[in-house]
Amino acid sequence: MFFNSYVFIFFFFPVFLLSWIALFRTRNSRWTLLLLSSCLFYAWWDFRFLALLAYIIVINFTAGNYIYGLENQKTKKQVLIISIILSLLPLVVFKYLPWLGGYASVLLESESRVAYDSLLSSIILPLGISFFTFQALTYTIGLYNNKCSHCASIVKFSVYVSMFPQLMSGPIVRYQDLDDQLENIGDLRNKIDLKGGVELFFIGLIKKIIIADRIGMYINPIFQPGADLSATVAWLAVMGYSLQLYFDFSGYSDMAIGIGRCMGIKLPDNFRAPYTASNPSDFWRRWHISLSTWLRDYLFIPLGGSWKGNVITYRNLIITMFLAGVWHGANWTFICWGIWHGLMLCVYRATPAHIKKRMPVWFSVLLLNIAVLIGWTFFRTTSVEHAFEFFNAMLGFRYSAGAAIAWPIYFMIPLGYMIHYFERRISDKPVKLGWSYAVLLAGASAWAILELGKDAPFIYFQF
Q: For this structure, is 328 an active site residue?
A: yes
Give the C-alpha separation, 293 to 324, whole Å: 11
Under a CB-based contact definition with an 8 Å cutoff, are residues 294 and 138 in contact? yes
Task: Give DSSP secondary structure letters for 39-81.
Answer: HHHHHHHHGGGHHHHHHHHHHHHHHHHHHHH---HHHHHHHHH
The helix/strand/coil state of 161 is: helix
Task: Give DSSP secondary structure letters for 238-282.
Answer: HHHHHHHHHHHHHHHHHHHHHHHHHHT-------S-GGG-SSHHH
Which class for 5: exposed (0-12), middle (13-18), buried (19 or more C-beta within 10 A)? middle
Q: Which amino acid is at 185?
A: I
CA dihedral of residues 408, 412, 415, 421 (deg, nearest 10): -170
Q: Catalytic pick from 328, 341, 386, 420?
A: 328
Q: What's the Cα-to-Cα distance from 148 to each of 88, 139, 175, 178, rounded to whole Å?
A: 21, 7, 7, 10
CB atoms near residue 25 (< 10 Å): 14
Which class for 64: exposed (0-12), middle (13-18), buried (19 or more C-beta within 10 A)? buried
Under a CB-based contact definition with an 8 Å cutoff, are residues 375 and 342 in contact? no
Active site (catalytic) residues: 328
